Structure 1
Amino acid sequence: MDHGDGVGVVRTTAEVEAFLSDRLEDSSRVTLRALTRDDQDEFVALVRDSAELHGPYMALPDTPENYQAYLARFDHVTAQGLLVCLRDTGAIAGTVFLNSIIRGRFQNASLAYGAFAPTAGKGYMSEGLRLVLRYAFERLRLHRLDAQIQPGNHASINLVRRLGFRYEGISPELLFIDGTWADHERWALTNTMFAPGPWPTHPTQPTR
């Protein structure tokens, strides 16, 4: 693959493809792939079409210039950008980000996600996030994922609750979004909460 993408995007693409190759029997309506330079026009158009849906909860790049700057942050090691795509058409249904990936004794990443208006409300993000959880725990060998969600974002809270995330409290003025420091609820999921395992450990995790 060479579409002018950075090394991080290329590495994420390889990891996602390797993960999916072990799941050829998957019957879900969606699949995953890395966010790439080639997705710029479709992604930006979807962000603009979804402005009302995302409201004050999520800020995504809505111009080509902002998109290219946004893409550069995904170095694969500390952050990965993923797309949830419809299996039958390839259309983008939503996006998922694994941010602040920390190894060692933490083995944690922060999960952020958003559906796009044209296909919202059809369960595609639920299926896509389940795939992302398996990718994070099986392929990336993370132990824990956390999600910070504004209290008024009931759709996102209901989604993580359905996926088995645990409520861990609220952090006042946690993130700067839509021009203000917004309070966020903290939700988290470990690999053993997701499925019993045993789960493979990452080489950077200490033995004791």
Structure 2
Amino acid sequence: MPMITLRALEPDDLEFLYALENDRDVWGVSDTLAPVSRHALREYLLHATEDFHVVRQLRLVITAEIGSPAVGVIDLFDYDPLHQRAGVGITILANERRHGYARQALDLLQKYAREVLRLHQLYATVGGDNKGSMKLFRAAGFRRVGTRQAWLRTAAGWQDAVEWQCLLRFPATTSK
């Protein structure tokens, strides 16, 4: 299995993002209902490298090797500076799944979130039928902390959302 890298978005990622964002198979997990235009993605790429603490989100490109084509993205979103937490989302291209890229990317992101961004915790919401993602988050040290009943509307009907949480460091102890 090749070692993956995480890198910032580049203007050259336009066609990759266009294919990824317009893949109807992942719309259900990204709360997307309509195609995304190249124009909208060009505008997004112009601002994608703004400071995480200002825009409260970060998208990194997953590559199998330095200089190789992108295989997916991993996102931090919904950053809460007071509570030092953020949500995590991962999307791997359909033909690149089941190679361990998501697990390696999640490991790297957890380390970055803890050591560089100094976050206290990460969380993820996973569709109840997405066994692969649940296995991924469990293997990465996330704990299943709850289920929201009939939370996600899909083409097949309503689906539960499973909530996952990972504490990146232990809370400080207070002396009595």
Q: TM-score range by the shorter chain?
A: 0.7 to 0.9
- Partner of residue 89, structure 2: 112
- Partner of residue 86, structure 1: 64
CA distance in 1: counterparts of 2:98 and 2:163, whole angstroms: 23
- Partner of residue 19, structure 2: 45
The 5-angstrom pairing of residues 8-23 of structure 1 reads: none
Following superposition, the deviation at residue 70 of structure 1 comes to: 4.8
Following superposition, the deviation at residue 93 of structure 1 comes to: 1.2
- Partner of residue 65, structure 1: 39
Judging changes above 3 Å, is the alpha-carbon distance between structure 1 residues 64 and 149 closer, same or farther for their aligned structure 2 residues? Answer: same
SS in 2 for 1:56: helix
Output the TM-score relative to the length of structure 2.
Answer: 0.78
- Give the aligned CA root-mean-square deviation in angstroms: 3.1
Judging changes above 3 Å, is the alpha-carbon distance between structure 1 residues 74 and 187 closer, same or farther for their aligned structure 2 residues? Answer: farther
Output the TM-score relative to the length of structure 1.
Answer: 0.67
Give the conservation status (yes or no) of the 8 Å contact 1:32–1:128.
yes
SS in 1 for 2:90: strand
- Of 151, 169, 172, 2:128 maps to 151
Following superposition, the deviation at residue 91 of structure 1 comes to: 1.3
Give the conservation status (yes or no) of the 8 Å contact 1:93–1:119.
yes
Judging changes above 3 Å, is the alpha-carbon distance between structure 1 residues 86 and 131 closer, same or farther for their aligned structure 2 residues? Answer: same
CA distance in 2: counterparts of 1:126 and 1:34, whole angstroms: 19
- Partner of residue 34, structure 1: 8
CA distance in 2: counterparts of 1:176 and 1:143, whole angstroms: 31
Deviations 1:147-198 (A, max 9, x none): 01110111111100111100110124656777x88641110001137xxxxx
Q: Higher strand proportion, which one?
A: 2
Judging changes above 3 Å, is the alpha-carbon distance between structure 1 residues 141 and 115 closer, same or farther for their aligned structure 2 residues? Answer: same
Identity across matched positions, percent: 26
CA distance in 2: counterparts of 1:73 and 1:89, whole angstroms: 20
The 5-angstrom pairing of residues 56-205 of structure 1 reads: 56-58=28-30, 62-68=36-42, 70-71=44-45, 72=47, 75=50, 76-77=52-53, 78-104=56-82, 106-172=83-149, 174=151, 183-192=160-169
Following superposition, the deviation at residue 64 of structure 1 comes to: 0.8
Query: Which residue identity is paired with 2:108?
Result: L
Give the conservation status (yes or no) of the 8 Å contact 1:166–1:188.
yes
Give the conservation status (yes or no) of the 8 Å contact 1:57–1:177.
no
CA distance in 1: counterparts of 2:81 and 2:142, whole angstroms: 21
Following superposition, the deviation at residue 108 of structure 1 comes to: 0.4
Judging changes above 3 Å, is the alpha-carbon distance between structure 1 residues 29 and 62 closer, same or farther for their aligned structure 2 residues? Answer: farther
Larger mean Cα displacement after TM superposition, 37-46 or 94-103 = 37-46
| Consecutive unaligned residues in structure 1, runs of 5 or more | 1-26, 194-198, 202-208
Give the conservation status (yes or no) of the 8 Å contact 2:123–2:163.
yes
Judging changes above 3 Å, is the alpha-carbon distance between structure 1 residues 46 and 57 closer, same or farther for their aligned structure 2 residues? Answer: closer
